[in-house]
Chains A and B, each alone.
Chain A
Amino acid sequence: MLKTILRRILQSIPTLLIVITITFVLTRMIPGNPARTILGPQASAEDIAEMEIKLGLNKSKLEQYADYMIGILHGDFGTSYVYNRPVTGLIAERIPKTLIITLTSLAIAVAAGIGIGVLSALKQYSILDYIFMILALIGVSMPIFWLGLMLVNLFSVQLGWLPALGMGSMKKGIGDVISHMVLPCFCLATIPTATFARITRSSMLEVIHNDSIKALRARGIKESSVIWKHAFKNALPPIVTVLGLQLASAFTGAILTESIFSWPGMGTMIVSAIDNRDYMLIQGTVLFIAVVFVIVNLLVDVVYMLINPRVSYEAKGGN
């Protein structure tokens, strides 16, 4: 078991190296000279040359790559040209704001999705089941940014109930921030809720018709205990896998959602960094998100191994 987990951890090291390399190559391929971007169109050739030296852009690509790798190993993601500050600092500043909405919306999605999924499975083929599943299907087919616009239109423009842009300010009290969170969180939670509902329903349906569950019922064990303690526990592994995937793709959703609601998180930062050709910042944030993605996947796999006895048996059998 421990060996399997260790092997899984070692496996993710080459993936991380490849991620770093891909990021480096892609960001160097972005057209436009960052030195010129910083100094503006009126800058003289000497100024630009000087700036290129300062930024290390005069070195060969291989040297730049080496510098970059060494920097990362020291926890140095470079300096943003536009903000003139270390990228790590900028990320550290933005990440909590992105985490607030992604984690809140995921928590909502887990609770709502699992609830809907279990209910649908228990009442399979009932009207409720059909309604939930049609809604879930629409939910997974919806472009999240369109939903965002519709929410803004309805609740901010038409009804004027909720603020559409920004994060609000803690100075005005926590209520202000929460009211700014409602729409982005609702928007971000939609697709995961639908996904959780679908996977929970199918996973529960697989388990619920097992003889073991029938046996529990026959023994007169309380229905709620049968459902949640036994059936749900057995239905959990695929749900955990999906949770991991959703956690990772929540960041993707955040990029689009943040840009609709002008939420000052990682997403808006990436989009503006791309507009500004801020190489280091793009590189840093992309890398950061990719690394988080790899780590989350790793954790999900480990949790999966721990909660799914079938996997650990296979591991013992010497695969």
Chain B
Amino acid sequence: MAESKNLTVQDALGQEAQARMLKRERRANNVWNKLKRNKTGMIGLVIIVVMILIALFASVISPYDPNEIHPLDAFMKPFSPGHIFGTDQFGRDLLSRIFYGARISLIVAVGGTIVGGVIGVLLGLIAGYMGGIVDAVIMRIMDGFLAFPFVLLSIILMTVLGEGLINVIIAIGIGNVPSFARVVRGEVHIVKNEEYCNACRVIGVSNARLLFGHILPNAISPIIVYATLNIAGAIISEAALSFLGLGIPAPTASWGSILREGKSSLTKAPFVATISGIFILITVLGFNLFGDGIRDVLDPKMKQ
């Protein structure tokens, strides 16, 4: 039926007009063009890009060294000359610390998501594709990990691993594995019985090629959506761990560690905690908005 409809369109408009129409349609369906029409998604993207630029160019745009101590200049209020965001209890420039903190916080959030994503996707692919006992064993273990509240699991992992940038990434990554595995497994279950997968099997395509060349690309949309939203959660997790004193060790600035210092000087300098928290909030908001945006674009079925 679709064919006969196409024919009439072609007959009526001629080949050239039809080509133009198809082109226009393709342009409208292009992911980027669709995303451009999604206002909140674009706001999110702008926030993310700004934060990434801040992180990348922290050393260029920071007015001071983030760890330089000036005891005499401690607790200068925001908008003091030379210190727009004021200074903390050691007289360190808060603006510079926030800029450098963006670097650490984003590295941890993206790194944690990549670690969790890669392991989780692999496990999910294997579980979903193999099925049977392999699936049962992997997914029960994932259920076991999911039974731990995320913060609790990361706290224990951090106690085991000790402070440090790489360890925070690993702890947050491990905490993220089970949910990635779950998302991917569900997706593989849907995809693996599609006609083209059966066709691949019939012509003797290897399992690995089928998994990575055909199933994974067709299951990638929800993975991207989930990963984006996951970065938002990972930023908060990093902040939570550093806030509890289990994350990035002093004096390195991360948004969480600045917030922790802000807690101890809350009565004297409430702006330290306030400003670092606002940066966390805005960035998390950015990833949430962008994640919702690309969900609507890539996976309209999931649209809420």
Where the two chains meet, the residues of A that have a C-beta atom closer than 8 Å to any C-beta of B are 14-15, 18-19, 21-22, 26-27, 29-31, 137-138, 140-143, 145-147, 149-150, 152-153, 157-158, 198-199, 202, 248-249, 251-252, 255-256, 259-260, 270-271, 274, 282, 286, 289-291, 293-294, 297
Contacts and interface: CB of A to CB of B under 8 A. Distances in A.
A282 B148 CA distance: 13
Given A18-B144, A141-B284, A256 B243 contact: yes
How many interface residues does chain B have, given as a range? Answer: 35 or more
Contact of A150 (B149, B236, B273, B288): B273
B199 to A, nearest CB: 27
Contact of B239 (A27, A137, A143, A294): A143
B61 to A, nearest CB: 24
A256 B247 CA distance: 14
Contacts, number: 124
Nearest to B292: A137
Most central of B144, B147, B155, B157 by chain A CB within 10 Å: B147
Determine chain A's interface SS by DSSP, over half rule.
helix
Contacts of B151: 252, 255-256
A293 B147 contact: yes
A143 B288 contact: no
B150 interface: yes
Interface in B142-162: 143-145, 147-152, 155-157, 159-160, 162
Contact of A27 (B141, B156, B304): B156
Contact of A145 (B232, B243, B285): B243
Contacts of B159: 30, 274
B273 A22 contact: no
B203 to A, nearest CB: 32
Given A202-B304, A290-B148, A293-B147, A150 B156 contact: no
B266 A153 contact: yes
B240 interface: yes
B206 interface: no
Given A145-B243, A289-B152, A137 B289 contact: yes
B281 interface: yes
B47 to A, nearest CB: 11
B147 A282 contact: no
A145 B259 CA distance: 9
A248 B232 CA distance: 20
21 contacts: A19-B148, A22-B144, A22-B148, A30-B160, A141-B284, A143-B259, A146-B239, A146-B277, A147-B277, A149-B266, A150-B274, A153-B266, A157-B267, A248-B149, A249-B150, A252-B151, A255-B151, A260-B263, A271-B155, A274-B159, A291-B147
